[in-house]
Amino acid sequence: MKNDFLPVSRADIDKRGWDYYDFLYIVGDAYVDHPSFGHAIISRVLESRGYRVAILPQPDWHSADEIKAFGRPRLGVLVSAGNIDSMVNHYTVSKKKRHDDAYSPQNKAGKRPDRATIVYCNRAREAFGDIPILIGGVEASLRRFAHYDYWSDKVRRSILFDSRADILMYGMGERQITEIADMLNMGVDVKEITTVPGTCFISSHADGYKVIPSYEDCASDKKAYAISCREQYLEQNPYEGEALAQKHGDKYLIQLPPQPPLDTDELDAVYDLPYMRNYHPMYEKYGGIKAIEEVKFSLAANRGCYGNCNFCALAFHQGRMVTSRSDESLIKEAKLMIEDPDFKGYIHDVGGPTANFRELACDKQKTHGACKMKHCLYPKPCKNMKIDHTKYLCLLRKLRKLPGVKKVFIRSGIRFDYLLADKNDTFFRELLKYHVSGQLKVAPEHVSDNALKYMGKPSNDVYNRFSEKFYRLNSEMNLKQYLVPYLMSSHPGSTLNDAVALAEYLNKNKINPQQVQDFYPTPGTVSTCMYYTELDPFTMKKVYVAKDAKEKAMQRALLQFKNTENYRIVREALIKAGRSDLIGRGPNCLVPPYQQRNEEMKNGKTTDGQGSVRQNKGRNENRGRKPQKGRNKPGTRGNTGRRGSRK
């Protein structure tokens, strides 16, 4: 039979002549049959094992009618909120509703409910009653324990309890789903499936498991929450991690240790499955699905990340052990791209969580996993780390030579401290010559060593050395390219003075970021634990956290101090930080002293210099002054330049 999209309706099931099907997969994203989408991978893996899977993308959750229409599946229901946590998908860091959703038709938000996993599970239960329900994906994975929920500002129970599902699969789920499917197919009751690594289930006892602070303790005691977070992270090891138990009422959430990462052959097999590599034709009338645009001509080369930044959930989801696909597998996929009529000769990315990680950080990880209390790169690269770009370089050279390929870009992010630690400059030079489109995105995140410490990022000196080398090599090679630094404001540990230091750095280096990211306390990260508890879970020491909306706005505005609309709040922040020396006309000053006066005259107001406002009774304080050349008019947006540009 010719390869096709999986059934998306009862009519599709009947068209295939199926008298039964095994699993109904309910997902919060539009159906895109491409290996960058979790629902595509899991459904194709099941199909390769002989199981029949139907997909129900973005059903109307106001009733169970659409679910019922498929008819009861033979083995169970799979549920995922999609590639992104549904609350992150719906709300900005300031908790405002988003209008866009790249994973939905017409790029419109609102096609899935808040807390989609819970809602879909409850509707599936309504439709089919006592049927095995298995949940997975990022939303389920990162909410598997009692967790701080930023949007409700409280600690919520494990999503397994609130969803009433039977099993939660966390991390990358290919092994878990096949083991569970095979057991269900053999007639094993879902309540008896309690031995599959990488899963969570509910038990009436905790015998034989390591008990961590309960949901009730975490909800009432921030110290208990921090301890719980620490234990969860320390046991995320497939070889030496312990199974954990967390009490919720009179029941226990049980988490078994993670699955070992797929090896190269297994990864190759997953990516070699017969994906259609596009969105389902039913979206054609809406103009397609935007989320496919960047990944359609990109290559997912690796999984896992040993960068282990505290604000990133990758260590808790994919794990810290990096594995990669073979060159042969990636070249085969690249050739499929070249045959696509829409391919213009550009491979958009060859990477993963971190592009220039291709293998395990050290040989010890093969049998023991990642170290519990040590980071591979922070505060500096471990002496046992293998720092070598040879394999990645070899792959890129092969891809560049493919007929029909004009350019191979790297956009998923380069870990600059790892690159800097490589004593061989060959990769660095070829990166600049062949794989940068004028700008290289990197993530220093901050410049204050105090803030960087809480992020788990290397000191600012490392980024400065990388930046100097980047521009030196560009000069030597007669290239004019720029660094685009990703920056974050208000991360736990970052004070107002740290934000001022970052603004001074940007001013000195003529960097004008157009976009910056406020810290977003998403589930499953160490940084979110710090945000909620104001404790470092590994040291149990106090952490400063900017929670006040005004201070958060100040820290953000300082990163874009050149925007004229930020003048007022930047000036107020500088005064509050005791840095009035940065208000003036000198080269080191962040804002001029006269701009606010003009703004206030326009609005009929002025200030007393300390931030308090008084009405201006019609006085013209500019009377007799000559207009100054080149000044921005009050209220207009200043010229911020290209993001990350360097003059």
pLDDT per position as a tens digit, 120-154:
999 999 999 999 999 999 999 999 999 999 999 99
Q: Are residues 215 and 81 in the same domain?
A: yes
Q: What is the distance between the alpha carbons of residues 123 and 64, in angstroms, rounded to a whole number? A: 5
Q: What is the distance between the alpha carbons of residues 592 and 580, in angstroms, rounded to a whole number? A: 11
With 70 as the cut, is the pLDDT of residue 601 above it?
A: no
Q: Are residues 395 and 510 in the same domain?
A: yes
Residue 600 belongs to a domain: no
Residue 565 belongs to a domain: yes
Q: Give the pLDDT band (50/70/90) at residue 599.
A: low
Residue 279 belongs to a domain: no
Q: Hey, what are 647's tokens?
A: 């003059």
User: Percent of the chain at pLDDT above 90?
Assistant: 88
With 90 as the cut, is the pLDDT of residue 301 above it?
A: yes
State the pLDDT at residue 1: 52
Tally of domains in the chain: 2
Say which CATH number the domain at 93 has: 3.40.50.2300
With 60 as the cut, is the pLDDT of residue 302 above it?
A: yes
Q: Give the pLDDT band (50/70/90) at residue 594.
A: low
185's enclosing H/E stretch is helix 174-185
Q: Hey, what are 302's tokens?
A: 């690796």
pLDDT tens string 325-351 = 999 999 999 999 999 999 999 999 999
Q: Give the pLDDT band (50/70/90) at residue 515.
A: confident
The 3-state secondary structure of 281-298, one letter per residue: HHHHHHCCCCCHHHHCCE
| List of residues 6+ apart from 475 with CB closer than 8 A | none
Residue 637 belongs to a domain: no
Q: Are residues 119 and 16 in the same domain?
A: yes
Dihedral, 93, 99, 103, 107 alpha carbons, nearest 10 = -150
Q: Which amino acid is at 271?
A: Y
Q: What is the distance between the alpha carbons of residues 311 and 631, in angstroms, rounded to a whole number? A: 40
List the single range of 192-206, 501-515, 522-536 with lowest mean pLDDT: 501-515
With 70 as the cut, is the pLDDT of residue 603 above it?
A: no
User: Percent of the chain at pLDDT above 70?
Assistant: 91
Among 255, 279, 308, which residue terminates a domain? 255
Please count the other Cβ atoms lying within 10 Å of the Cβ belonging to residue 422: 16
Q: Give the pLDDT band (50/70/90) at residue 3.
A: confident
Among 255, 280, 303, which residue terminates a domain? 255
Residue 350 belongs to a domain: yes
State the pLDDT at residue 352: 93
Question: CA neighbours within 13 Å on the CB side: how many for 512?
Answer: 13
Q: Give the pLDDT band (50/70/90) at residue 593.
A: confident
State the pLDDT at residue 294: 87
Q: Are residues 242 and 335 in the same domain?
A: no
Among 206, 232, 255, which residue terminates a domain? 255
Q: Are residues 61 and 207 in the same domain?
A: yes
* Highest mean pLDDT (candidates 507-516, 601-610, 620-629): 507-516
Classify burial at 478, counting beta carbons within 10 Å of its beta carbon; exposed 0-12, middle 13-18, buried 19 or more. Answer: exposed
Q: Give the pLDDT band (50/70/90) at residue 602.
A: low
24's enclosing H/E stretch is strand 23-27
Q: Are residues 245 and 318 in the same domain?
A: no
Q: Are residues 17 and 132 in the same domain?
A: yes
pLDDT tens string 370-409 = 999 899 999 999 999 999 999 999 999 999 999 999 999 9
pLDDT tens string 36-74 = 999 999 999 999 999 999 999 999 999 999 999 999 999
Q: Give the pLDDT band (50/70/90) at residue 13.
A: very high
Please count the other Cβ atoms lying within 10 Å of the Cβ belonging to residue 71: 17
With 90 as the cut, is the pLDDT of residue 532 above it?
A: yes
Residue 610 belongs to a domain: no
Q: Are residues 300 and 410 in the same domain?
A: yes
Q: What is the distance between the alpha carbons of residues 532 and 526, in angstroms, rounded to a whole number? A: 10
With H, G, I as helix, E, B as strand and everything else as coil, classify residue 54. strand
Could you tell me whether strands 482-489 and 517-518 are parallel, antiparallel, or unpaired per DSSP bridges? Answer: parallel
Q: Are residues 333 and 388 in the same domain?
A: yes
Residue 36 belongs to a domain: yes
Question: CA neighbours within 13 Å on the CB side: how many for 326?
Answer: 11
Q: Are residues 195 and 320 in the same domain?
A: no
Q: Are residues 235 and 351 in the same domain?
A: no
489's enclosing H/E stretch is strand 482-489
Q: What is the distance between the alpha carbons of residues 220 and 27, in angstroms, rounded to a whole number? A: 33
Q: How many residues does the chain have?
A: 647
Q: Are residues 217 and 349 in the same domain?
A: no
With 80 as the cut, is the pLDDT of residue 598 above it?
A: no
With 70 as the cut, is the pLDDT of residue 597 above it?
A: no
Report yes or no: 595 and 567 within 8 Å, Cβ to Cβ: yes
State the pLDDT at residue 328: 98
State the pLDDT at residue 629: 35
Q: What is the distance between the alpha carbons of residues 616 and 366, in angstroms, rounded to a whole number? A: 71
Which structural domain range is residue 361 located in? 291-576
Residue 635 belongs to a domain: no
Say which CATH number the domain at 569 has: 3.80.30.20
Q: Hey, what are 563's tokens?
A: 């925007």
